[in-house]
Amino acid sequence: MPRPIVRVGLVSLGCAKNLVDSEIMAGHLHKAGMALTPNPEVADVMIVNTCSFIDAAKEESINAILEANQTRGMRRRHGKQKLIVAGCMAQRFATELRTSLPEVDAFIGLDQLTSIAPIIEGLLEKDRADNEAPENFVTPQPRFIPDFDTPRFRLTPSHTAYVKIAEGCNHPCSFCIIPQMRGRHRSRTIESIVAEVRALVAEGVKEFNLISQDTTYFGMDRWEEKAGPRALVDSSRGDSLTALIRELQKIEGDFWVRLLYTHPAHWSDELIQTIADSPKIARYVDMPLQHISDPMLDAMRRETSAQHIRDLIHRIRAGIPGIALRTTFIAGFPGEKEEDFATLLKFIEETRFERLGVFKYSREEGTRAAKRDDQVHPRTKQSRWVKAMALQRHIALELTAAAKGRRIRVLVESPGIARSEADAPEVDARVFVPDHLPVGEFAEVTVTSSKEYDLIAE
């Protein structure tokens, strides 16, 4: 008798980097002959790929785990169903969660993504006693990095893809727990990334979103290994984002490449010029700045200054005509005074970012900022967040109104809905277009009107 197919339900939470991890797990499940199912009631195994970046993300992850388990009644009807928790929360809190979430059967970390199939097979072969703790497969300081031939089943629409060019982070930001969860920065090779993109272009992908914790640090980890920190000033010594862009530009086909998660400390005039010279690179840059007040930048350990940021933005806009800048800021960081926040508001008003988001500071256990005794009151954080977002909404309304009559290129997402070069998937605005435009293809449209953040075109 043939062995029944193992059916797996997968819930993916958090950022695009986490989504790629889910796609890698899905790829290995398919390679092992297992099948993904959208129906948790028929799943032999449920996987929740969690996020743990801020409090809201942790709460969402816990709720998703509890919802996946929900009642023991379903488990009795489908007695062998297993529940696996993966991702950042598992990597960060697996030991603690074994006690607080006994309903989970196993926790896996970032190094176990490619081992998901044998882990599932092992769980299905045995029944865990009621008082037995969940299995913990998490290893500290993960080292995994995907390659071009890593099995992967994409969960995005067929015309768009995320390409993870590096993993981990070396930055010492005092508010962030990511380096402790995802380990040191480790870059893929240019050859590996180019091979992946070339294969996806052949499949019809039109948009590539380059992601990592810091895409501008790409390749620099190998420079340090070979020649020490001094090598960071000379991109000719090894791989770099500029070298990667030049190689991607050589690939034949009609597509654009979007840069996400860049860091202001690692931009250079060479990178600006390379983007300007590369028509396949979308005129869009995502560069989280977090603040503009020097006391706050120092407290956040952002390795940059207000003057550097202002000069960099001027150089980017002057060097890359038509560029759309996206950034994020933190409101209510410990020690943030009224004058610091006023400086931030003035900067937002003067700079007029095309895309902007604001986070309320989240006190993350294990970070330097969490230990400070000058935490900002939650009501103050909320008030500052409201003020900053209201200002940006006013700016966005003016920017979209000014786009009337402009001819733009869009990528059609679904019937009647598209995105421009200035709009990354999931996080940015939309362009409403005629329903007859083919999904997954580029189109030239003229903006006729706008509504809040979105454009209307024909």
pLDDT for 210 equals 98
Strands (E) located in 145-278 = 160-164, 166-167, 186-187, 207-211, 256-259
Burial of 338 per CB tally in 10 Å (0-12, 13-18, 19+): exposed
Residue ranges per domain, the chain? 7-136, 160-402, 407-457
C-alpha distances in Å from residue 346, one per residue of 112, 248, 350, 354, 397: 46, 38, 6, 16, 18
Give ∠ CA 354-358-363 in degrees, rounded to 5.
Answer: 155
Give ∠ CA 334-339-341 in degrees, rounded to 5.
Answer: 60
pTM: 0.93
Name the DSSP class of 452.
Answer: T
Is 160-402 a domain of CATH 3.40.50.300? no
The answer to whether the CB of 418 falls within 8 A of the CB of 445 is yes
pLDDT for 43 equals 94
Could you check whether 7-136 and 160-402 share the same CATH topology? Answer: no
Name the DSSP class of 115.
Answer: G
What fold, for 407-457? OB fold (Dihydrolipoamide Acetyltransferase, E2P) (2.40.50)
Please state, as a whole number, how many other Cβ atoms lie within 10 Å of the Cβ of residue 342.
12
pLDDT for 225 equals 59
Q: Which residues pair with 12 in a beta bridge?
A: 49
Taking the C-alpha atoms of residue 207 and residue 198, their distance in angstroms, rounded to an integer, is: 12
What fold, for 7-136? Rossmann fold (3.40.50)
pLDDT for 55 equals 82
Per-residue pLDDT of the chain (458 residues; tens, 9 = 90+): 567 899 999 999 999 999 999 999 999 999 999 999 999 989 999 999 999 888 888 899 999 998 888 744 454 445 578 999 999 999 999 889 998 999 899 999 999 999 999 999 999 998 776 678 899 999 988 999 999 999 999 999 999 999 999 999 999 999 999 998 899 999 999 999 999 999 999 999 999 999 999 999 999 998 765 555 444 444 445 689 999 999 999 999 999 999 999 999 999 999 999 999 999 999 999 999 999 999 999 999 999 999 999 999 999 999 999 999 999 999 999 999 999 999 999 999 999 999 999 999 999 999 999 999 999 999 999 999 999 999 999 999 999 999 999 999 999 999 999 999 999 999 999 999 999 999 999 999 999 999 989 999 99
The 3 state secondary structure assigned to 150-182 is: CCCCCCCCCCEEEEECEECCCCCCCCCCHHHHH
pLDDT for 73 equals 45
Q: Which residues pair with 123 in a beta bridge?
A: none
pLDDT for 2 equals 62
pLDDT for 1 equals 54
Give ∠ CA 344-348-350 in degrees, rounded to 5.
Answer: 115
